[in-house]
Amino acid sequence: MLPIVPPPILLSAYRQGLFPMAEARSDQDIFWVEPRERAIIPIGGFHCSRSLARTIRREVFTIRVDSDFAGTVLQCAAPRATGEDTWISGRIAASYQRLHEVGHAHSIECWQDGELVGGVYGVAFDRVFCGESMFSRRRDASKVALAWLLALLERAGCALFDCQFMTGHLASLGAIPIPQSEYLERLGAARGDQRISLPQALAEVEAEAAAQSSPALSSSPGKLIAHFLIQTS
């Protein structure tokens, strides 16, 4: 097993607009990617459909932050139903685990009946969050996780959400393609000393919901997030 990529090297790469990939799950080597075209979801630009908002409002899933980061990465690296191999090798997974341990990688997770059924993870630095991968074991679980992530990032002061490669699925959720040169400009503008705190943002949403829960005004974290996303979509 080759050594992990140290957190300072990973963060330096991300700050230059690069990210690591592997050819296959079993591959020991990694390569650095700098796409000519980058996909981002503008902060405040997540497209939340009525049906997705309804699922979030009903709290079909329990949302947690960083309660099982390793499990989220493991599920994202699992073989796809299409038979397509993953780019998340054991070395990359171990590198992100170390990055998580020093506070720069996070997971947003959907739980149901005590089981991790969906989630998304990524890298956080300055006012930037780079989404890496997501998975779903229940209908809409990955969409719910991504919706919560974008809502929490906006509340936490994030300025740039990177989702790497453009796909039709991401486009339906609000992603837009931009040239790498523009991405680097946005990346530079989002630099700063502020660190995104997803656990704090989640705690604030839960506290706000609890404060509004009364016989006259009933609320919940899911209702607050759904309302917020509908207002900003």
Are 66 and 72 spatial neighbours (Cβ–Cβ below 8 Å)? Answer: no
Residue 233 confidence (pLDDT): 63
Least confident of 68-82, 128-142, 168-182: 68-82
Domains of the chain: 7-17+36-232 (3.40.630.70)
Q: Using alpha carbons, list the distances in angstroms from residue 187 to 104, 107, 206.
A: 16, 21, 30
Q: Are strands 19-21 and 31-33 parallel, antiparallel or unpaired?
A: antiparallel
Spatial distance between the Cα atoms of 25 and 160, rounded to a whole number of angstroms: 28
pLDDT of residue 38: 96
pLDDT in tens, 2-57: 689 999 999 999 999 999 998 877 788 889 999 999 999 999 999 999 999 999 99
Task: Report the alpha-carbon distance of residue 143 to residue 56 in Å, rounded.
Answer: 10
**Among 2, 174, 180, 14, which Cα is nearest to 94's?**
2
Instruction: State the pLDDT at residue 193.
Output: 72
Considering the entire predicted model, what is its pTM? 0.91
Q: How wide is the angle at C-alpha 36 spanned by C-alphas 31 and 38, nearest 5°?
A: 95
> Shortest CA distance to 139 belongs to which of 171, 109, 117, 158?
117
Other beta carbons within 10 angstroms of residue 182's beta carbon come to: 13
> Which residue, 206, 203, 143, is CA-closest to 175?
143
